Structure 1
Amino acid sequence: MKKYKYPSVLTIAGFDGSGGAGIQADIKTISALGCYATSVLTALPVQNTQGVKSIFPIPIEAVAEQLDTIMEDIVPDAIKIGMVHTPHLVDTIVAVLEKYPDIPVVFDPVMVATSGHRLIEEQTIDAIIKKLLPLSALITPNMDEAAIIAKMKVETLKDMELAGKSIKQLGGKNMLLKGGHQKTETITSLLLDEENNCHSFEFNKIETNNTHGSGCTLSSAIASYMAQGKELFEAVKLGQQYVFNAIQSGADTQTGKGNGPLNHFFNPQKLLKNEMV
């Protein structure tokens, strides 16, 4: 009798009780794209669509035990990392994941919330640069996050390219600079790959406040496509198209009083099954 397995994606991220971002958005995205979602909680932000009120830490021992427990039982086909807000957390995650060098890691350096709230401690940035960048197959900073990592202003398309090259010199392999904060009718994101090729992706801007969790959703979508066996460029392309469609499908709804969520389930896929070798 043949045996099958679901393509599995592990999300290592923070909580969002309002359901639009963080680990909740990751699980929705991974599930909507036909993959099996496992998760490790790194922090408990108290937030809604209007912003972050406070952040409660998860004990480091609890994060380590969560990671070990998942990895010893359901080894993922891809990993998405989101909110990592302390140096100890960086060390804990790296200590486990460096044992699995063949699993692609998509790192979304969550540093600034959609509301503008700063989510990361200053001393964590060095730890991320030294330890998480080299571990990641793809890093997906937005313009604000790229500016923090590269220590430069990022306001134009040229700034994005320069920041991406600067971050690559710090140890990044492939870099997707997200252009969602551009004040233009067309949004352009840039993919700088390992060969230093620069690929651009353009989408028309959708007039809506419902973009809460778009970065979490994108990184999870890319990880999901990588778990399905897609090559990096194709996974990035498909992931961005998924996010565009999810924003477009939820643009005319109201959930909460602030920045609402995407419609993650605009076209949900059945769980995929791959034959086990």
Structure 2
Amino acid sequence: MTVSRAFTIAGSDSGGGAGIQADLKTFQELGVFGMSAITAVTAQNTLGVQGVYPLSLDALKNQIDSVATDLKPAAIKTGMLFNAEMIQLVADRIQYYEWENIVVDPVMIAKGGQSLLQIEAVSALLTTLVPLAKVITPNIPEAEVLTGMEIQTIEDKKEAAKKLFNLGAKFVMIKGGHDITGEVVIDLLYDGNSFESFEGIRRETKHTHGTGCTFAAAITAELSKGKTVHEAVGTAKEFIQAAIDDQLGIGGGHGPTNHWAYRKKNLIFSS
């Protein structure tokens, strides 16, 4: 029996809606064995981030090496990396193990507005990690920071995608959730030659904590199965739409999405 395996290198969310917890839930729901290396522990709930406690570089390296040398992940997702030193370490390990299916989710700001990436780490992300990415999945605010440009129109999204592609990423996915115009959320995928739009229904809800982590984790899970990037993104779009549509409504702030909604939806349709 061949077991698909995916590996997430990211921060821990004590509230369970984002980070390592969201990634592992997503892997599980998509039938993939998940592994993790924790970069930082956060004290966090739906109301915000109460504390961030980064691990040592040795702790991070040892976690990555332990997974890599025994469990052999087929796809790797990076999330919250916190500082330039961690970014460099992760990039070094990716190159050392010659990993190719790398999904970079450039986590910078929590839903409540708290910074999760030191500002001086942005250049390290651009120069060391983006060039290794099979797919990079910034939302609009993240893409603005990474490209140094304002993004308001579809043409702006395309220009930002081209800039990130020119830095070395093989595919660029500019997510449209922060574009509040219209009833449709449009995510734009660029492969260096053409653009493909993935549309979803916009829901008026505050329960969207962890959507970026979950979306990128779903792409990673599908890549670990041998799916193409376009196939992986298509499944990830369906997964996150279901997770937003079937709300849990828990917590007093930005609540988490429903990670079992995609499976629940498919079970209903198949019965």
TM-score (norm 2): 0.94
Aligned residues: 263
Alignment of 1:215-230 (within 5 A): 215-230=212-227
Q: Does the residue aligned with 1:113 lie in a helix, a strand or coil?
A: coil
The answer as to 2:22 corresponding to 1:40 is no
Distance in 2, Cα, partners of 1:6 & 1:96: 23
Give ranges in structure 2 of 5+ residues lacking alignment.
265-271
Q: Does the residue aligned with 1:133 lie in a helix, a strand or coil?
A: helix
Once the two structures are TM-superposed, the CA of residue 201 in structure 1 deviates from its matched residue by 1.0
The answer as to 2:139 corresponding to 1:142 is yes
Tell me which residue corresponds to 1:190: 188
The partner residue of 1:261 within 256, 259, 263 is: 256
Once the two structures are TM-superposed, the CA of residue 102 in structure 1 deviates from its matched residue by 4.5
The answer as to 2:1 corresponding to 1:11 is no
Distance in 2, Cα, partners of 1:267 & 1:143: 25
The partner residue of 1:107 within 101, 104, 108 is: 104
Alignment of 1:93-242 (within 5 A): 93-183=90-180, 184-193=182-191, 195-242=192-239
Distance in 2, Cα, partners of 1:268 & 1:36: 16
Distance in 2, Cα, partners of 1:86 & 1:102: 22
- Per the alignment, do residues 102 and 121 of structure 1 end up closer, same or farther by CA in structure 2, a change over 3 Å counting? closer
Once the two structures are TM-superposed, the CA of residue 145 in structure 1 deviates from its matched residue by 0.2
TM-score (norm 1): 0.92
Q: Does the residue aligned with 1:165 lie in a helix, a strand or coil?
A: helix
Q: Is the 8 A contact 1:192 1:198 kept in 2?
A: yes
The answer as to 2:245 corresponding to 1:244 is no
Residues 141-198 of structure 1, C-alpha deviations (whole Å, 9 max, x = no match): 00000000001112222221111111222222210000001112111110011x3211
Once the two structures are TM-superposed, the CA of residue 75 in structure 1 deviates from its matched residue by 0.6
Q: Is the 8 A contact 2:108 2:117 kept in 1?
A: yes
Q: Does the residue aligned with 2:70 lie in a helix, a strand or coil?
A: coil
Residues 186-236 of structure 1, C-alpha deviations (whole Å, 9 max, x = no match): 11110011x321111111101211110000000000010111111111111
Q: Is the 8 A contact 2:54 2:82 kept in 1?
A: no
Give ranges in structure 1 of 5+ residues lacking alignment.
270-277
* Bigger fraction of residues in helix: 2
The answer as to 2:63 corresponding to 1:66 is yes
Once the two structures are TM-superposed, the CA of residue 105 in structure 1 deviates from its matched residue by 0.6
Once the two structures are TM-superposed, the CA of residue 267 in structure 1 deviates from its matched residue by 4.2
Once the two structures are TM-superposed, the CA of residue 109 in structure 1 deviates from its matched residue by 0.2
RMSD: 1.3
